[in-house]
Amino acid sequence: MRTPMSDPVALITGAAGGLGRAVAAQLAQAGWRLALVGRSSTRLAAAGPVDALRIEADVSTAEGARAAVARCTEAFGVPTALVNCAGGTLIAPLHRTAESAYRACLGANLDTAFFSLAAFVEALRNAQQPGAAVLVSSVVGHIGVANHEAISAAKAAIAGLVRGAAATYAPSRIRVNAVSPGFMVTPATQSMVATDAAREGFARQYPLAGLGTVEDTAQAIAWLLSPAAARITGQVLPVDGGFTAVRPLVR
Ligand SMILES: NC(=O)c1ccc[n+]([C@@H]2O[C@H](COP(=O)([O-])OP(=O)(O)OC[C@H]3O[C@@H](n4cnc5c(N)ncnc54)[C@H](OP(=O)(O)O)[C@@H]3O)[C@@H](O)[C@H]2O)c1
């Protein structure tokens, strides 16, 4: 599918991942032109529509994130939407988390959000354009889940980043929100639900039946970027089947 050059431009990081691909599909359908960012052009090649721009960059550094936004601006124009799907999970108790694993977890989940958002708002402000960003938190950033200390710290920090940036950039007409998914089956997590018993075990923890999908979260992201959410900023929207709000009814 070819999209007209007048369509608005969205930059998606972690675009080769499970959630990133679903977001790309959702935003392409909503008429966005896409710049897809990841650390491997081979993995990116299989993601998104044919006419998407693919940018190999590590957005966990200020330099990498700026380079990604600059490449998008040069090819397509300034992106007016950012979705930071870059991330990676780490399941380990605090006392067994090596310093290198902790730093990698914070780098993939928090540094990518911080530096992508910084590069995005800088480009928008220079162009004097409004825009909207969606970051990705997690249920483990809001409620204690055993053996998730490093990722919980990173995902809780996303909420602080969202609120601070929403306040700073509201006068520039830049909205900043996050989604907070529960468990979704993606290449990163599918080994955790390889058996029916494991899948049912995960599902039982959620008040709403079944497991969430990347499409559920991608739809929420597309909505937060759309004019329908024009009055929403500084929010973290749970897409978690009730996991963080209510207790499941145990029968
Ligand atoms: N799956 C779940 O159950 C779940 C639940 C709650 C929240 N989340 C969050 O949702 C987001 C997406 O998760 P997912 O399951 O789709 O994970 P995924 O399949 O592992 O995708 C994450 C992507 O991030 C990219 N990435 C990592 N570090 C990067 C960096 N420094 N620069 C650029 N790209 C980078 C990776 O691609 P390359 O290696 O090719 O760069 C990978 O494709 C993550 O933030 C995750 O924490 C997931």
How does pLDDT run across 85-104, given as a tens digit for each residue? 999 999 999 999 999 999 99
Range of the domain at 67: 9-239
| 19 in a structural domain | yes
pLDDT at 58 over 70: yes
- Report which of residues 78 and 248 the model is more confident about: 78
Q: Which residues contact 128 (CB under 8 A, 6 or more apart)?
A: none
Please count the other Cβ atoms lying within 10 Å of the Cβ belonging to residue 20: 28
201 within domain boundaries: yes
Mean pLDDT of the chain: 96
Sign of the Cα torsion 54, 59, 64, 70 reads positive
49 in contact with ligand 1, CB cutoff 6 A: no
> Within a domain: residue 181?
yes
- 52 CA to centre of ligand 1 in angstroms: 19
CATH code of 137's domain: 3.40.50.720
Q: Which two tokens stand for residue 86?
A: 């870059």
Residue 248 lies in a domain: no
Q: Does 127 reside within a domain?
A: yes
Residue 141 in domain: yes
What ligand 1 atom has the least distance to the C-alpha of 44?
Answer: 40
Ligand 1 atom nearest to CA at 18:
16
Q: What is the pTM of this model?
A: 0.97
Helix (H, G, I), strand (E, B) or coil at 208: coil
**Does ligand 1 have an atom closer than 6 angstroms to the CB of 189?**
yes
144 within some domain:
yes
Measured CA to CA, the distance from residue 202 to residue 186 in angstroms comes to: 14
- Could you read off the pLDDT of 131-171 as tens digits, one per residue? 999 999 999 999 999 999 999 999 999 999 999 999 999 99
Any domain includes 246? no
Concatenate the DSSP letters of all residues of 2-44 into one string: ---TTS-EEEEESTTSHHHHHHHHHHHHTT-EEEEEES-HHHH
124 closest CA partner among 84, 164, 69: 69
What's the whole-number mean pLDDT along residues 7-16? Answer: 97
By CB atoms closer than 10 A (0-12, 13-18, 19+), residue 128 is: exposed
Count: domains in the chain: 1
